[in-house]
Amino acid sequence: MNRRQLLAGGAGLAMASAAQAQTRFRDLPEAASYDSPNTQVPPRPSNGPDYNPVVTLNGWSLPWRMNSNVKEFHLVAEPVERIMANGMMARLWGYNGQSTGPTIEAVEGERVRIYVTNRLPEHTSVHWHGLILPSGMDGVGGLSHPAIPPGKTFVYEFDLTKSGTFMYHPHADEMVQMAMGMMGLFIVHPRDPAFMPVDRDFAFLLAAYDIDPGTYIPRVAEMTNFNMWTWNSRIFPDIDPLVVNKGDRVRVRCGNLTMTNHPIHMHGYDFEVTCTDGGWVPESARWPEVSIDIPVGAMRAYEFDAVHEGDWAIHCHKSHHTMNAMGHDLPTFIGVDKRKLTGMIRKETRGYMPMGTAGMADMGEMSMELPENTVPMMTGWGPYGPLEMGGMFSVVKVREGIAPDDYSDPGWYENPPGTEAWEWTGELPEEARNTSPDTIIPPRDHVRRG
Ligand SMILES: [Cu+2]
């Protein structure tokens, strides 16, 4: 070995030992997996900078390890089984045992190193939606870097330059992989814990699937006609409630990775839109809302002070998105007299029930026989009867005396005496009617005209 080689070798050694000093672990972080569809409230961070963790509805946050000053995560893209609701399981693709994938939480200013192992039968990639990072880390297969082949692990590494709510999803065979449930939330907390603090911070992703009743795998070529409208791949009545202590400052973060917009409406409050996936909304630019439309491929966060006790519905305002599978091709029978027809059908099919002649509320109550592996179209029971809801629906439960880290269901709210709608049993006054001849359309006799 000549002097030059020795020097070069020595320099190499020195560099290696410097790298080793910076990198405590030279193996991959353990790939954590979670097999329950219940909300797992994340523990407060035990190392790294402090923050107030988000509560992912029916989800969990991915554990990490600190490797010197780098926060390391291990995502595994793989086939999963997801219980969408009691009685319905879907075979999806997701991350670390679940669809939607675990929430990644870190702090502004941190450097993250994310190992992504591909256990899918085809290549994948991970795009970090909304994060500011080097072009080669952007996760567009074929553009930013070669797609990750099956069985391989790629490493993404970048600095978190801003706080906010972001998302991750494949940018490789995207239509199929997102229709199969591959997506997750990426929360970057502000470096200053005093910046826009909240007591409760809820997060969920809107995801839509097309799964025929009695089947398990989404139809991945579907473009618009989805039938399972989910929050974090869960549907009502099995989306967990948002449990809140009276007086808490509450944030709700909602990302949309479906193919249509969703106006999310919350009862009982007005709120302020405080964040998009582009960043925090300056105080002077915030506006009051009771519904917030979440565009496709976007995130909105809103905040409110939970001063009104009660059980408050929170749901997508597109009413067919608060329905579960079935029913999209149902004809409208309102006002149709089906008695004669029912008699004729009953001769062939005993026990046939006509439906929908007075609306469809009877479907919420009826326990119709369903094929295996599906749920009723409209379902869920409250203290006073069927809620006739499904899909994207849950309840914000505001109560006094809920402990800071307690998210367990407090049961139904009891309305204080005198504060609940009641039945009028007295005389009714004569109804006011418009009697102007200009606006009265004479009724037609449809039967005689045929
Ligand atoms: Cu919707």
Residue 143 in tokens: 């553009």
Q: What is the pTM of this model?
A: 0.84
CA of 442 to the centre of ligand 1 (A): 39
What 3-state DSSP class applies to 346?
helix
How many Å apart are CA 210 and CA 258, to the nearest integer?
11
Ligand 1 centroid from CA 290, angstroms: 15
* Under 8 Å between Cβ of 264 and 316: yes
- Cβ atoms within 10 A of the Cβ of 446, count? 8
Cβ contact 71:111 at 8 Å: yes
316 CA from centroid of ligand 1 (Å): 5
CA–centroid distance, residue 230 to ligand 1 (Å): 9
How buried is residue 91: exposed, middle or buried, by Cβ count under 10 Å (0-12/13-18/19+)?
middle
pLDDT at 447: 54
Q: Quote the CA–CA distance of 319 and 245 in Å, as a whole number.
A: 29
Query: Widest CA span of the chain, in angstroms?
Result: 111
CA of 256 to the centre of ligand 1 (A): 10
User: Of all helices (H) and strands (E), which one includes residue 273?
Assistant: strand 271-276
pLDDT at 362: 59
The alpha carbon of 29 and the centre of ligand 1 are apart by a number of angstroms equal to 37
Q: From first to last of the 450 residues of the chain, give the pLDDT tens digit.
A: 444 444 444 444 444 444 544 567 778 998 999 989 999 998 889 888 899 999 999 999 999 999 999 999 999 999 999 999 998 999 999 999 999 999 999 999 999 999 999 999 999 999 999 999 999 999 999 999 999 999 999 999 999 999 999 999 999 999 999 999 999 999 999 999 899 999 999 999 999 999 988 889 999 988 788 889 999 999 999 999 999 999 999 999 999 999 999 999 999 999 999 999 999 999 999 999 999 999 999 999 999 999 999 999 999 999 889 888 764 455 566 666 767 777 777 777 666 666 666 666 655 555 556 778 888 777 788 899 888 888 999 999 999 999 999 999 999 999 999 999 999 999 988 877 777 777 766 666 655 544
**Ligand 1 mean position, distance from CA 112 (Å):** 33
**Cα of 317 from ligand 1 centre, angstroms:** 6
Q: Which of 289, 295, 260 is nearest to 274 (CA)?
A: 289
pLDDT recorded at residue 8: 42
Distance from residue 254's CA to the centre of ligand 1 (Å): 12
Ligand 1 center to residue 226 CA distance, Å?
11
CA of 277 from ligand 1 middle (Å) equals 19
Q: Which residues keep their CB under 5 angstroms from ion ligand 1?
A: 262, 316, 318, 321
CA–CA separation, 379 and 366 (whole Å): 9
Q: What share of the chain is helix, strand, coil (3-state, %, to 5)?
A: 15, 35, 55
The rounded Å distance from CA 229 to ligand 1 centre is: 7
Would you call 137 exposed, middle or buried from its count of C-beta atoms within 10 A (0-12, 13-18, 19+)?
Answer: middle
- CA 266 – ligand 1 centroid, Å: 13
Q: What is the DSSP string of 254-266?
A: EEE-SSS-EEEEE
- Report how far ligand 1's centroid is from the alpha carbon of 236 (Å): 13
CA of 318 to the centre of ligand 1 (A): 5
pLDDT for 14: 44
Question: Distance from the CA of 264 to the center of ligand 1, in angstroms?
Answer: 7
Strand 55-56 with 200-209, pairing = parallel
Give 393 Cα–ligand 1 centroid separation in angstroms: 10
Question: pLDDT tens digits, residue range 83-120?
Answer: 999 989 999 999 999 999 999 999 999 999 999 999 99
State the distance from the centre of ligand 1 to the C-alpha of 258, rounded, in angstroms: 9
CA 314–ligand 1 middle distance (angstroms) = 12
- C-alpha 19 to ligand 1 mean position (Å): 49
Ligand 1: distance of its center to the CA of 231 in Å?
10
pLDDT in the model for residue 371: 73
Neighbours of 108 (CB within 10 A): 18
Measured distance between the N- and C-terminal CA atoms of the chain, rounded to whole angstroms = 105
| Residue-level pLDDT at 388 | 83
Query: Could you tell me the distance, in angstroms and rounded to a whole number, from the CA of residue 100 to the centre of ligand 1?
Result: 17
* Spacing, Cα 84 to ligand 1 middle (Å): 17
Give CA separation, 317 vs 27, 86, 270, 294, 385, in Å.
48, 24, 15, 11, 21
Distance from the alpha carbon of residue 43 to the mean position of ligand 1, in angstroms: 31
Q: Are 117 and 74 in contact (CB under 8 A)?
A: yes
Separation between Cα atoms, residue 403 and residue 393, nearest integer Å: 25
What is the distance in A from the centroid of ligand 1 to the CA of 348? Answer: 39
Structure tokens at 100: 């939607």
How remote is the CA of residue 152 from the centroid of ligand 1, in Å?
36
Q: What are phi and psi of 121, to 5 degrees?
A: -80, -5
Question: At 88, is the secondary structure helix, strand, or coil?
Answer: strand
Q: Is the dihedral of CA 232, 234, 235, 237 positive or negative?
A: negative
